[in-house]
Amino acid sequence: MLTLTPTAAQAIRDLTATTPQPEQSGVRISSKGESAGSLTLTLAVAPEPTDEIVEAEGARVYLDPVAATILDDKSLDAGADDQGGVSFVVTDKLA
């Protein structure tokens, strides 16, 4: 299952804090088509019926079935640029 670093969890909490329903909002990672070649990350107020839910430190990530399979052994991290923009990166889990 995908894991979240503390930095990613904080970034997700910050992004969802101002949504209409912050207690169930999260980010959704979904595939573009049936291909493992491209994933997108968007804000979501709730999971889709087939989504896998990953929760850590008060942050929620919703994964569509293809994304859940692709990211099963990965970790999600986050960083900020000089202008305060947030970027997410997927890495291999640390042993």
Q: Could you tell me the domains of the chain?
A: 3-92 (2.60.300.12)
On whether the CB atoms of residues 1 and 67 are closer than 8 A, the answer is no
Which residues sit opposite 53 in a β-bridge?
A: 62
Does the model's pTM come out above 0.85? yes
| CB burial of residue 76 (10 Å; 0-12, 13-18, 19+) | buried
Q: What is the pLDDT of residue 35?
A: 57
Q: What is the pLDDT of residue 34?
A: 60
Q: What is the pLDDT of residue 74?
A: 95
- pLDDT tens per residue, range 27-74: 999 988 665 568 999 999 999 999 999 999 999 999 999 999 999 999
Q: What is the pLDDT of residue 87?
A: 92
